[in-house]
Amino acid sequence: MAKIVILTGAGISAESGLGTFRDKDGLWTRYDLNEVATPQGFARNPGLVHDFYNARRANAAVAHPNAAHHALARLQAALPGQVQIITQNVDDLHEQAGSTDVWHMHGRLARARCASCNHRWDAPAVMAVQHPCPACTAPKTRPDIVWFGEYPFHMDDIEQALSQADLFVAIGTSGNVYPAAGFVQMANLAGADSLELNLEPSQTITDFAQARHGPASNIVPAWVEEILSGR
Ligand code: BV8
């Protein structure tokens, strides 16, 4: 079981050009999350929700991993089976950098799901609700994304990993969204050490034993080199 459990958020992808949510001119300052990231919003106006995710899917398609994603992939490769990455992000920059077995707890832009039968398939670049489900043909296509009020994916695996972690590291997340923001407390209860790597102190900074602040592309590779050189 992983000794190092890492949670990433939008901040690790910021330097790859993908917007964050709550920074200045972040996504939630330009879209009302109740309209584009809730089941009620999708029921009201599926076209608006698909426009929002189609735009983000197009941005993600031309984004590249940055030094922070590459550093985590190096850490995973150097410590086989010891490093579990959990991400709140719906992009695939961790995978593009070479990370494996990444748990996308809020879903992925790259997948589509049928709101009627729950069948999943690879997302087309541009998705629309009337696309018939390949399994049941219902015109109920949605992004395979976890919206507010919906249950995140991988929660059992996550709780198991946190209960056995030696170290929990949160990277590029503001600590606003639960249950992800509560993972540090679960790690603390399990007796793990905890480290926040973020541009600025998060909402949950007081729960972390250690913290380093700065751009992820600087502080994450520096931290990984320390771990790998055993300092
Ligand atoms: C749940 C979709 C039950 C994907 C997202 C009332 C009704 C219903 C629910 C609730 C409620 N009140 C509270 C809740 C719970 C709710 C919640 O937490 N709401 C908040 C807003 C109060 N949570 C839920 O509904 C979740 N489900 O609770 O189910 C349950 C309960 C217990 C156990 C299990 C289940 C579902 C939450 C998922 C919602 N989906 N998005 C998408 O569109 O992308 S949330 C959205 O926020 C994204 O997923 C995103 O990943 C996530 C977290 O944001 P961050 O990643 O932290 O990004 P943010 O912009 O906030 O911060 C960026 C950070 O990076 C900043 O700190 C910044 O300083 C830093 N940064 C910037 N640049 C850099 C940098 N760091 C380093 N380097 C840089 N260059």
Over residues 37-60, the pLDDT tens digits come to 999 999 999 999 999 999 999 999
- Atom 3 (ligand 1) nearest CA: 151
CA of 132 to the centre of ligand 1 (A): 30
What is the arithmetic mean of pLDDT over 108-116? 97
Let me know whether 76 and 139 are in one domain. Answer: no
Mean per-residue pLDDT over the chain, rounded: 96
Q: How far apart are the first and last CA of the chain?
A: 23
Name the pLDDT band for 24 (thresholds 50, 70, 90): confident
**What is the Cα–Cα distance from 99 to 92, expressed in whole angstroms?**
10
Name the pLDDT band for 231 (thresholds 50, 70, 90): low
* CATH at 50: 3.30.1600.10
Let me know whether 26 and 119 are in one domain. Answer: yes
Determine the pLDDT at residue 110: 97
Let me know whether 139 and 231 are in one domain. Answer: no
**What is the Cα–Cα distance from 207 to 200, expressed in whole angstroms?**
15
Let me know whether 122 and 88 are in one domain. Answer: no
Determine the pLDDT at residue 113: 98
Let me know whether 129 and 223 are in one domain. Answer: no
| Segment 155-181, tens digit of pLDDT | 999 999 999 999 999 999 999 999 999
Determine the pLDDT at residue 194: 98
* CATH at 91: 3.40.50.1220
**What is the Cα–Cα distance from 110 to 102, expressed in whole angstroms?**
14
- Atom 11 (ligand 1) nearest CA: 149
Name the pLDDT band for 1 (thresholds 50, 70, 90): low
Res 82 pLDDT > 80:
yes
Let me know whether 36 and 89 are in one domain. Answer: no
Name the pLDDT band for 22 (thresholds 50, 70, 90): confident
Let me know whether 92 and 167 are in one domain. Answer: yes
Res 34 pLDDT > 80:
yes
* Pocket lining: 184 vs ligand 1, CB cutoff 6 Å: no
Question: 53: domain range?
Answer: 19-62+111-145
Let me know whether 23 and 89 are in one domain. Answer: no
* Pocket lining: 143 vs ligand 1, CB cutoff 6 Å: no
Cα angle 27, 182, 118; round to 5: 65
Indicate the number of domains in the chain. 2
Determine the pLDDT at residue 230: 83
Determine the pLDDT at residue 2: 62
* Pocket lining: 20 vs ligand 1, CB cutoff 6 Å: yes
